[in-house]
Amino acid sequence: MDIRINFPDSVSLFISPQELGKRLGHADAPLLLDVRPQARFDTSPRMLAGARRCSLDEVPALAAVLFAESPALEIVTYCVYGHQMSQKAAAAFRAAGLNARALAGGFEGGEDGVDDALEIAQWRAAKLPTEAKGQP
């Protein structure tokens, strides 16, 4: 029998960079998944520290594995600006029964001319730790 956790709809789909920053480096830190489009991932030399790469196509299979291994696992997905890719990935993980949220503002801290300027300033001020891709 396949039982899925009902993730409360009242919990925001987003986590702020400030909230995420407070959680990093602790035993209960969420799994970070970089779901940026491949072309954008390839041209960027950096990713969030401790993140794992996951294409949007890999999300359903990974969700099944993660749910089987650790159904209480918390996941934070991020894309370039925190728009479509990370939201779709977080929603898919939630549909699989996992506790998932998308990083508000994404890797770049929002998109100039699209996102609210005050939110962009707040997201970028958080300065989440990054590392060179391929580094431990």
- Report pLDDT digits (tens) over 80-114: 999 999 999 999 999 999 999 999 999 999 999 99
Q: How do residues 14-41 score in pLDDT, each as one tens digit?
A: 999 999 999 999 998 999 999 999 999 9
Domain span at residue 71 reads 14-129
Per-residue confidence (pLDDT) for residue 32, from 0 to 100: 98
Amino acid 12: pLDDT: 87
Is 81 within the bounds of a domain? yes
> Does residue 61 belong to any structural domain of this protein?
yes
Q: Give domain status of residue 42, yes or no.
A: yes
pLDDT at 5 over 70: no
Q: Does an H or E element contain 18, and which?
A: helix 17-23
Number of domains in the chain: 1
- Distance CA(75)–CA(78), nearest Å, equals 10
Q: pTM, whole model, 2 decimals?
A: 0.90
Asked if the structure places residue 65 within a domain, the reply is yes
53 membership: H or E segment, kind and range: strand 52-53
Q: Tell me the β-bridge partners of 47.
A: 131
| Residue 63, domain CATH | 3.40.250.10
Does residue 5 or residue 130 have the better pLDDT?
A: 130
Output the pLDDT for position 9: 52
The answer to the question of residue 134 being in a domain is no
Please indicate, yes or no, if residue 2 is contained in any of the structural domains.
Answer: no
Does 92 reside within a domain? yes
Give the separation between CA 59 and CA 34, rounded to whole angstroms.
11
Q: What share of the chain in percent tops pLDDT 90?
A: 88
